[in-house]
Amino acid sequence: MTVRAAIIGLGRWGRSLVNAIHGKTDAIRFVVAHSRTRGNAEAFCRERNIPLRDRFEDVLADPGIDAVVLATPHSAHAEQVMAAAVTGKHIHVEKPFTLDRPSAEAALAAVRRAGVTLAVMMLFSVADMVLRSMGYTVAGSYEVIGWLSAAAMAMALGTVQRHRGHVAMELVVAKLGRRSRAIVEALMNLMSLLLFATVAWYVARYGRVLHETGSLSETLRVIVHPWVYLVAAGCAGLTLALLVDFLRSAGALFGLGRRC
């Protein structure tokens, strides 16, 4: 099943969210967009064949939309979450959730009444900060956040490389000839391959040291080497993806050389 989503807000981060999944997965697809500054978003939406709606209310009234992704100013989150919940749309919202506790409680109440799903990025870290303001602490929160963040990023490295999701600067390369671009691409893939193969090796070796010495985390006093091994595995996955890219680019370069 494909989640039919609407992107609300097409500033820098909203566009990053669209680019992260557009044409790269069947699990979720942006079928509609809305932006307060239509003129700035028209070209972006036209290139990706995403219809642009003038009003947020029109998006919520569309029965063909399952969820909304809010990449809007923080001051608008509470009102938009409540409005989306009333119409039965599932909601993904960027941090901070809202600007104060009363508005956050009102938005959560609307979500509960509607029975929809609300996903908030960095929920654990924000919850920890809120609890600290009330005199409570979550022991080891920074350790857990660090481990989960490292694991999430490491496991995503290879997949993101496969889908060309990493940031790439091509201002100079774009002006080169076809053969020159192929040479640069092959060299960059080779250099990246060697770099991350080295990183994977050293991280794995560091994990082995932690394993053999029985090192424990400072606060929770639990073993940490599994997380280090996980990061090493992520770097190894990226290395394999880069190897595939290098072989592909080298093959393309060889093909150009034969035609010349």
* Residue 41: pLDDT over 80: yes
Name the residue with tokens 């609890």: 131
Task: Specify which residues 30 forms β-bridges with.
Answer: 5
Residues 149, 254 within the same domain: yes
Other C-beta atoms lying within 10 Å of the C-beta of residue 49: 10
Residue 250 domain-assigned? yes
Pairing type for strands 90-93 and 28-34 reads unpaired
Question: Domain tally for the chain?
Answer: 2
**DSSP per-residue codes, 165-231:** -S----TTGGGS-HHHHHHHHHHHHHHHHHHHHHHHHHHHHHHHHHHHHT-B-TTT--B-HHHHHHH
User: What is the model's pTM?
Assistant: 0.53
pLDDT at 165: 61
Other C-beta atoms lying within 10 Å of the C-beta of residue 46: 11
Residues 49, 93 within the same domain: yes
Residues 152, 99 within the same domain: no
| Model confidence band, residue 258 (pLDDT cutoffs 50, 70, 90) | low
**Domain-ending residue, one of 121, 155, 180:** 121
Residue 19 CA neighbour count, 13 Å, CB half: 13
Residue 127 domain-assigned? no
Looking up residue 99, the CATH number of its domain turns out to be 3.40.50.720
12: left (phi over 0), alpha (psi -120 to 50) or beta: alpha
pLDDT at 186: 85
**DSSP per-residue codes, 67-91:** EEEE-S-GGGHHHHHHHHHHTT-EE
pLDDT tens by residue, 139-188: 676 677 778 778 878 887 887 777 666 666 666 766 777 778 788 888 88
Residue 131 domain-assigned? no
Residues 185, 79 within the same domain: no
pLDDT tens by residue, 177-210: 777 878 888 888 899 999 999 999 999 999 999 9
Residues 209, 100 within the same domain: no
Which tokens sit at 174?
């774009």
| Model confidence band, residue 87 (pLDDT cutoffs 50, 70, 90) | confident
Residues 146, 104 within the same domain: no
Residue ranges making up the domain that contains 117: 3-121
